[in-house]
């Protein structure tokens, strides 16, 4: 939850003057999205989300993200379409920061996904991957597998502070991941942050995905694996195989996985756990105290890493991602 | 801005099961109100604000507040009407805390009120005072003038820490206020927190007032005086007489002040500045670091106190609140 930038009524009026949206009827900061400031904006033309882009999002990446949201909305995927001003610009500036208006999407995210939510979310992710085909934007995954070892090099001390002995364990993981990382899997646009709080449901059905600000090009199965980490671990740290199989089955309703993709899921999930462990470790302690946001606990992903590490090389590793009976 | 209590989708579903509002279509924490957690709730029946009452609001006072909101909405004042569940209850419990649903009101609050906003806000406050006539609820002002000296007795050290020498100045103020405080002014229901962020405008016209959680019985002119402090000081600490006269003139469109009320405005405004200085001083340092809210600076009201102190006994004191030419 976050509102980093405070917008006055006068600033809002000046901002809206560029658009054909009529006068503002309601404007409220909302607790959604960790990286940016989001506002519910109601005008005579309807309801929207106004986003002011803060720290982590690089402004040079915003045309890629907004273009993708537009592309998805135009290709039958329920993504918030950016709204253009009278001169056709979706990316604007507000209080000196990049800002954009997008459609308001209804739907409610779930805190503790059940098996049916996982199935729906899996199908939604496949719809996203298919709808994004042909998107002309280009953005490599700057948090992809090649980035982990260099990022961790600067975080050894933080890892040791978190848990003595952890740095050596992570470095061994990184070496194994580098040696065994799957190549030649089908690549496309991945959401890369497909967590339960970024997926909306209505009446238990997939309704929309939001927050495309980590989207990039990578192996599609890597996106599935990262989502399994986000959707299918229980609070006690165990991996819910039933939910994972439902997620994959939902995904395969729309996009069946190739055999190589399915076989790669255990190591992709291990690597995806590494990615979130490393970025949470970097954020832990780096979040300013006035940010009105609590950094996420890196130990959650340290435990997920351990589950995947232990499963490697065992039949159990593959069994986690077997097809539903 | 505040979201102190985190509500899951499952908790929301269980909560809504008592109401005839249909299924939830959207649910977002919003940055509105400092004392409570507020959520935008959209259901098949419309849009609402769900409030979870936190720390400062005493649960035994909530029937008074919710009853007043209902009364005002039923008496042609634009206040959010509480929504009752199937058994006719407006005050409910969520995660062990008091909670209520009320209608969503459109409108936008202003950061830097202009003269026309002040006129409209004054008229809105008079409408509130008149609409509340006959409300059968009873609640004395527990932050009224009799409470200031006892409250400040525990805050001498905090005042000295803020500004050496301040405690003696405040105690002299308190003695003067106790001796000269006006009696026998018309009493009624006062909002008692009629600040710009609690007033909504649409197209520059008064649209609604929210946040009745300090409402109580006190002199109606005291409510006007407290509002003048909130609406008519410039950022540089000077009192904007033009805006103050417009506020009073707007008020008198609906409820002309009696001569005794008008004469009392300078000392009422001095006392109202004392009330907000003392409670801000109490909050300054007492706000937990994880509360996602920044305490308000007590020095803002210390400066307002100084303006009113200096104006007492001079013709200028009364001039501040003269009628518009």
Where residue A316 falls among pLDDT bands split at 50, 70, 90? low
Residues A125, A191, single domain; the answer is yes
Contact B105, B83 (CB under 8 A): no
Q: Report if residue B160 sits inside a domain.
A: yes
CATH number of domain containing B179: 3.90.1200.10
Determine the pLDDT at residue A230.
97
pLDDT in tens, A141-170: 999 999 999 999 999 999 999 999 999 999
- In this prediction, what percent of chain B has a pLDDT beyond 70? 91
Q: Which one, of A77, A303, A43, A98, lies nearest residue A213 by Cα?
A: A98
Tell me the residue range of the domain where B148 lies.
Answer: 115-319
The pLDDT profile of chain B, 325 residues, written as one tens digit per residue, is 356 678 899 999 999 999 999 999 999 999 876 678 999 999 999 999 999 998 778 889 999 999 999 999 999 999 999 999 999 999 999 999 999 999 999 999 999 999 999 999 999 999 999 999 999 999 999 999 999 999 999 999 999 999 999 999 999 999 999 999 999 999 999 999 999 999 999 999 999 999 999 999 999 999 999 999 999 999 899 999 999 999 999 999 999 999 999 999 999 999 999 999 999 999 886 655 555 556 788 899 999 999 999 888 665 555 666 666 5
Determine the pLDDT at residue B198.
95
Enter the pTM of the model: 0.86
Token readout for A12 is 């809002």
Non-local (6+) Cβ contacts of A270 within 8 A are: A173, A177, A305, A308, A309, A311, A312
Residues A99, A121, single domain; the answer is no
Instruction: Considering only the beta carbons, identify the residue of A10, A24, A111 that sits closest to B10.
Output: A111
Which residues in chain B have their CB less than 8 angstroms from residue A31's CB? 3, 28-31
Residues A89, A120, single domain; the answer is no
pLDDT at A106 over 70: yes
Cβ separation of B29 and A31 shorter than 8 Å?
Answer: yes
Strand partners, B12: none
Determine the pLDDT at residue A322.
67
Residues A259, A122, single domain; the answer is yes
Cβ separation of B1 and A29 shorter than 8 Å?
Answer: yes
Contact A210, A107 (CB under 8 A): no
Q: Indicate whether this complex's ipTM tops 0.85.
A: no
Where residue A34 falls among pLDDT bands split at 50, 70, 90? low
Of B68, B103, B138, the last residue of a domain is B103
Which residues in chain B have their CB less than 8 angstroms from residue A211's CB? none
Which of the 8 DSSP states describes residue A154? T
Which residues in chain A have their CB less than 8 angstroms from residue B42's CB? 106
Non-local (6+) Cβ contacts of B120 within 8 A are: B201, B204, B205, B206, B250
Question: Which value, to the nearest 10 degrees, does the dihedral of the CA atoms of residues A91, A96, A101, A102 take?
Answer: 70
Determine the pLDDT at residue A1.
37
Average pLDDT in chain A: 91
When scoring A51, A108, A110, A120 by the number of chain B Cβ atoms within 10 A, the one with the most, hence best to mutate, is: A108
Of A103, A135, A158, the last residue of a domain is A103
CATH number of domain containing B32: 3.30.200.20
Of A103, A126, A153, the last residue of a domain is A103
Count of structural domains within chain B: 2
Residues B28, B133, single domain; the answer is no
What is the secondary structure of A21-43 as a DSSP string?
S-SEEEEEEE---SSSEEEEEEE
Strand partners, B43: B24, B46
Residues A138, A224, single domain; the answer is yes
Q: Report if residue A1 sits inside a domain.
A: no
- Collapse the DSSP code of B61 into the 3-class scheme (helix H, G, I; strand E, B; otherwise coil) and give the result: helix
Å between B119 CA and nearest CA of chain A: 18
């Amino acid at each position: 939850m976050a509102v980093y930038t405070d917008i006055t009524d006068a600033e809002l009026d000046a901002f809206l003057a560029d658009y054909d949206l009529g006068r503002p009827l309601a404007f409220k900061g909302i607790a959604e999205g960790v990286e940016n400031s989001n506002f519910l904006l109601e005008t005579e033309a309807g309801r929207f989300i106004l986003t002011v882009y803060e720290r982590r999002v690089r402004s040079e990446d915003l045309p890629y993200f907004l273009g993708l949201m537009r592309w998805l909305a135009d290709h039958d995927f329920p993504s918030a379409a950016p709204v253009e001003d009278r001169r056709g610009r979706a990316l604007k500036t507000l209080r000196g920061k990049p800002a954009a208006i997008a459609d308001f999407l209804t739907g409610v995210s779930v805190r503790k996904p059940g098996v049916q939510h996982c199935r729906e979310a899996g199908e939604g992710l496949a719809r996203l991957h298919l709808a994004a085909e042909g998107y002309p934007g280009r953005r490599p995954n700057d948090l992809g597998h090649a980035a982990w070892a260099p990022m961790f090099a600067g975080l050894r001390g933080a890892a040791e502070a978190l848990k003595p002995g952890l740095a050596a364990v992570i470095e061994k993981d990184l070496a194994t991941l580098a040696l065994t990382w799957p190549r030649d899997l089908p690549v496309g646009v991945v959401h890369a942050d497909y967590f339960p709080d970024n997926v909306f449901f209505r009446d238990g059905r997939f309704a929309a995905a939001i927050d495309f600000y980590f989207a990039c090009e990578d192996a599609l199965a890597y996106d599935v694996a990262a989502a399994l980490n986000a959707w299918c671990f229980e609070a006690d740290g165990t991996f819910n195989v039933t939910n994972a199989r439902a997620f994959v089955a939902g995904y395969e309703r729309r996009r069946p996985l190739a055999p190589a993709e399915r076989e790669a899921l255990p190591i992709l999930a291990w690597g995806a756990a590494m990615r979130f462990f490393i970025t949470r470790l970097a954020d832990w302690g780096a979040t300013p105290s006035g940010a009105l946001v609590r950094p996420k606990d890196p130990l959650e992903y340290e435990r997920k890493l351990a589950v995947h590490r232990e499963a490697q090389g065992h039949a159990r590793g593959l069994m986690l991602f077997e097809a539903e009976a």
